[in-house]
Amino acid sequence: MGFEVATPIQEQTVPVILANKDLIACAQTGTGKTAAYLLPILNKICTNPKEAVNTIILVPTRELALQIDQQIMGLAYFTGATSISVYGGGDGMGYEQQKRAIREGVNIIVATPGRLISHMSSGKFDFSQLEHLVLDEADTMLDMGFHDDILRIISYLPVKRQSLLFSATMPGKIRTLAKKILEEPQEINIAISKPSAGIDQHAYMAYDDQKGKLIRHILSNEDYTSIIVFASKKEIVKTLARDLSKSGIEAEGFHSDLEQAQRESIINKFRSKRLRVLIGTDVISRGIDIVGISLVVNYDVPPDPEDYVHRVGRTARASTTGTAITFINEKDQSRFARIESLIEYEIKKMPLPEGLGAGPTYNPKTGAPKKRNNFRKKKNNAKNGRPMSGGSSPNRTKSSES
């Protein structure tokens, strides 16, 4: 498959897993965590093959479940190991296929917690020979409210097993969970909360009503061949996808209102380079592993500094290079300052392209700066009988509400 040198997380975790020790491992996104646990588990399976469930891998999203299952297919091609991805959103036929595979003893189950619990509750399955439980993107699963589901799933599993917890961040709730499910775990931490050195990071100071023209200007650069645009709310994702498409830019929005078949179709088009611009929320900042993404745009500043690391980590994967651009409005400056504090790096603020006017001044220490001075205009409007609150920038009002 072209891999010759182990990444640091792989180099340190593989011996621990082969030694059958529990593990809590933390490394930034894009460093090869998936292969770090898949390779030693597959090695164990093919040296002692059985038609039984050997491993359960829990993940937060269906996209990540599919992606890991595809990686297993590639890595396990000559081993005889079997796997299936188990997630909701499909039809009844898919559910029955998952159920049959679990009952017949597929070696590796990659599952979202909710769908796996549904299977466990509706039928009797033999997990007596299970050897490995993996929690991948554990911090995201906890953020999404899967704590109780995880503990419920564990109640069905053998007490004697190897448990592996992989996470991109290490908040206190992860350590609390680790104490409940891991036994004397080894701990490995590698380069937490630092974007890849291959990412060219810069930002633009822009009011909300300047962002549309700015994103179109950036996307007009044909050097960017594969692009992800992140927004914090699905309403913005939908609006932006529609507006870009109307302006002639091929773009599609990825959000929770889509059917599973639509989500898979969009991801497949993006992965195969038939779709240039993918727009989504933070749900895709963890669940997509695609080499060759040349540009990530943060249409708004993420609320959590860690989310910034995950977003920009979609580019410059597997030792490649890439660009990450963030739009900062007058309200998000303190958020962006926290990001710079976390990554210990001051991100360059670029001047807006000609014709867009002036953006806000970056001054996060003094709080949110004043908006552009519309007082005189409003005062004149009031004299002419028009309401002072009307303003002349409906786009900015709409953006801030969404």
Q: Note whether residue 399 is domain-resident.
A: no
Domain boundary among 171, 190, 209: 190
Tally of CB atoms within 10 A around 249: 16
Predicted local distance difference test score (pLDDT) of residue 240: 95
The 10s digit of each residue's pLDDT in 6-28 is 989 999 999 999 999 999 998 77
| Least confidently predicted of 22-31, 102-111, 219-228, 244-253 | 22-31
Asked whether residue 389 is domain-assigned, the answer is no
What pLDDT shows up at residue 109? 98
Tell me: the pLDDT tens digits for 327-363? 999 999 999 999 999 888 899 999 999 999 999 999 8
Domain that holds residue 336: 199-370
Alpha helices in 55-107 (DSSP H): 62-75, 92-104
pLDDT on residue 318: 60
Q: Is the pTM of this model over 0.85?
A: no
CATH number of 221's domain = 3.40.50.300
Sheet holding 132-135, edge to edge: 83-86, 108-111, 55-58, 132-135, 162-167, 23-27, 186-190
Is 2 inside any structural domain?
Answer: no
* 330: amino acid identity, one letter: E
116-152 per-position pLDDT tens digit: 999 998 878 999 999 999 999 898 898 888 999 999 9
| pLDDT of res. 70 | 93
220 and 151 part of one domain = no
Whole-number Å distance between alpha carbons of 304 and 311: 11
pLDDT at 309 over 80: yes
Beta bridge partners of residue 111, listed in sequence order: 58, 86
Query: pLDDT digits over 160-184, tens only?
Result: 999 999 987 777 888 899 999 999 9
CA distance 33 to 339: 23
* pLDDT at position 323 over 60: yes
If asked whether residues 173 and 249 sit together in one domain, one would say no
Domain count, the chain: 2
Residue 192 confidence (pLDDT): 56
Identify the bridge partners of residue 203 per DSSP, sorted by sequence position: 326, 349
Look at residue 396 and tell me whether its pLDDT is greater than 50: no
Q: How many CA atoms lie within 13 A of 260 on its CB side?
A: 12
Q: How many residues does the chain have?
A: 402
* Tokens encoding 399: 């953006």
Measured at the alpha carbon of residue 258, what is the angle toward residues 252 and 261, in degrees to the nearest 5? 95
Inside any domain, residue 383: no
Same domain, 213 and 178: no
Q: In the chain, pLDDT over 90 holds for what percent of residues? A: 59
CB-based contact 329:206 (threshold 8 Å): yes
- Residue 260 pLDDT > 60, yes or no? yes
